[in-house]
Amino acid sequence: MKPPGIERNLGMFKILERKGAASAPAAEIGRGYSTRAEAMAAIKTHLKTFKASGHNSEGNYWWARDTEGLRKCWISGIE
């Protein structure tokens, strides 16, 4: 039997999203992903649910706008 939370530690990358105010904590979107490519595919799928979205020129974060305001998403390595 696996200890609680073992599935969460299998991924090496996670998607984080911050809504609106900069002081709000970032929330994890989806689950942990074993490769950056999988996380990239997941973040693109997530952003397709919004009317307006894009990314910065370096490609290290993505943004979306909805009725709640601006959302910022990025991929982070799991420690």
> What is the end-to-end Cα distance of the chain in Å, rounded?
24
- E strand or H helix that includes residue 5: none
Q: Which amino acid is at 73?
A: C
Per-residue confidence band for 66, with pLDDT thresholds at 50, 70 and 90: confident
Residues 6+ apart with CB under 8 A from 17: 26, 27, 28, 29, 46, 71, 72, 73
Phi, psi of 55 (to 5 degrees): -145, 165
Mean pLDDT estimate for the chain: 81
Give 16-53 pLDDT, tens digit per residue: 999 876 667 888 988 889 998 999 999 889 888 888 88
Q: Do strands 52-55 and 69-77 pair parallel, antiparallel, or not at all (unpaired)?
A: unpaired
Give the whole-number percent of the chain exceeding pLDDT 90: 18
* pLDDT > 70? residue 9: no
